[in-house]
Amino acid sequence: MLKYSKQTRLLLAVDCIIFGFDGELLKILLIKRGFQPEKGNWSLMGGFVQNDESLDQAANRILKQLTGLEGVYLEQLYTYGDPNRDPLERTVSVAYFALIDIHKYETQISADYHAEWFQLKRVPKLIFDQQEMVEQARKRIRYKAAMHPILFELLPTKFTIPQLQILYESVFNTTIDKRNFSKRVLATGLLIKLADKDKAGSKRGAYYYQLNMQNYYAKFQAFMNFIPNPDAL
Amino acid sequence: MLKYSKQTRLLLAVDCIIFGFDGELLKILLIKRGFQPEKGNWSLMGGFVQNDESLDQAANRILKQLTGLEGVYLEQLYTYGDPNRDPLERTVSVAYFALIDIHKYETQISADYHAEWFQLKRVPKLIFDQQEMVEQARKRIRYKAAMHPILFELLPTKFTIPQLQILYESVFNTTIDKRNFSKRVLATGLLIKLADKDKAGSKRGAYYYQLNMQNYYAKFQAFMNFIPNPDAL
DNA sequence: ACTTTAATTGTTATTACAACACTACAAATC
DNA sequence: GATTTGTAGTGTTGTAATAACAATTAAAGT
């Protein structure tokens, strides 16, 4: 099976930056590494690419392993290949980022990994070059979310506009005028107003909305303005 | 040196999609593959990642090998890892795209590879999944160029506004009103008007411009509108 | 002097955007 | 049942960005 003789073969890993939103802050899910080197230190969830699986399959497997979730938003971020990034043996890592509904995440499943959610501003020291991966994932999510409706992936099926606004404000670390925000998101034609309200946040209650999946898929690639001055990324 | 025992090791390659602009059309540089499998067929320039080099280094090495160029615009595009993409042996490939000044390209150096420029609409059948790589590179370049000034990398140091417009029209396969285009690009503050003219294209001659490198680096990440309706990508 | 070719420049109508403040609702309290 | 409380929801207007549109200028060639 080794036909390209004389060429170096090396380890290939996949690391996942898993984003969640708890209603207030954007967070990522980290584990305590279970093996050497760096055993016991905070790390992204990752794993080696197996013989018979594609990179996407590996990423999905790893994501499911930790969260129990399948079919969620997962996108290849970047591939990191510095020869010395893993001191034990050269390992090239393909980073993916995932956007999940934090409420669907099952704590039990990931107990083995001692997984914990960290708000982005308080991420602990990570192993290898994973700090850089997280930073790049943060940039990518901002970049993309400024123009494409990816942040809906972080919310439950039913959500309110105030919830959505808090999410955008959290991701972009800014405040947005609620009248303009409301106009902006409703103008996309991506939202369907539901009959019932979320009474948790206020006495009056806020109407639930859900995504119009038709328009969502159709317009996903279009450029939309979700953020007033997206230059300051 | 093999410390993560029992894990699969595999081949890692880098493939380069090399873009050039001849004054009329956007083109990519292809070679005839020199070894089996698919020997003699059209292919992207590529190579295996060596033991001691990073991915960026590998990409730069491969680019230089074919074009003789160094220090040009080179960006990681995507990593392709389908288990069967190379029928001979599993090889994961990290694709990069390069934007070069086609006039600096030395034909002699790449004679060994039987390299040829192909306009994007007439790319021949390529090996493995390289068709997909080219298509994704085309999309990425459009996406990025709609908002960031990357296309200048395809032009010589001195260029005229009509030349620039033809480039944009070629990349986006559209026509742009020249008055509005001129205003748009000059409004970026990225251009410095020079004293001399290019008399090749017309009797009157068009003023040369060059990049204001200060502003170029400073504003590179900002969102600018180079294209009227960028939605139709 | 006239023709030819492409470069250069300006105005206007339309649209998108940002700034800004009050009213509506429903639950809880008095 | 009237009042308080806390957030949801909505409209207007000035300003800036954009798109649509045509005439003039420069220089070479005839």
**A98-124 residue pLDDT tens:** 999 999 987 777 788 999 999 999 999
Q: Which residue has the tokens 């409301």?
A: A182
Nearest to A94 among B9, B11, B79 (CB): B79
- This prediction has a pTM of 0.95
Divide the 233 residues of chain A into consecutive groups of 10 and give the mean pLDDT of each group.
82 98 96 93 98 97 95 98 97 98 83 92 97 98 96 98 97 95 96 95 94 95 85 58
Residue B92 and residue A221: Cβ atoms within 8 Å?
no
Are A148 and A220 spatial neighbours (Cβ–Cβ below 8 Å)?
yes
**Residue (of B94, B18, B99) closest to A10 by Cα position:** B94
**B9-64 residue pLDDT tens:** 999 999 999 999 999 999 999 999 999 899 999 999 999 999 999 999 999 999 99
**B175-210 residue pLDDT tens:** 999 999 999 999 999 999 999 999 998 999 999 999
Mean pLDDT of B125-136: 98
Q: Distance in angstroms, CA of B182 to C1' of C9?
A: 10
Mutation pick from A56, A75, A89 vs chain B, by most beta carbons of B within 10 Å, is A89
Q: Distance in angstroms, CA of A162 to C1' of D1?
A: 32
Nucleotides of C under 7 A from a protein CB: 4-11, 16-21, 24-28
Q: What residues in B contact A89, CB-CB < 8 Å?
A: 1-4
Nucleotides of D under 7 A from a protein CB: 5-12, 17-22, 25-29
Taking the Cβ of residue B5 and every Cβ of chain A, the question of whether any pair is shorter than 8 Å is answered with no
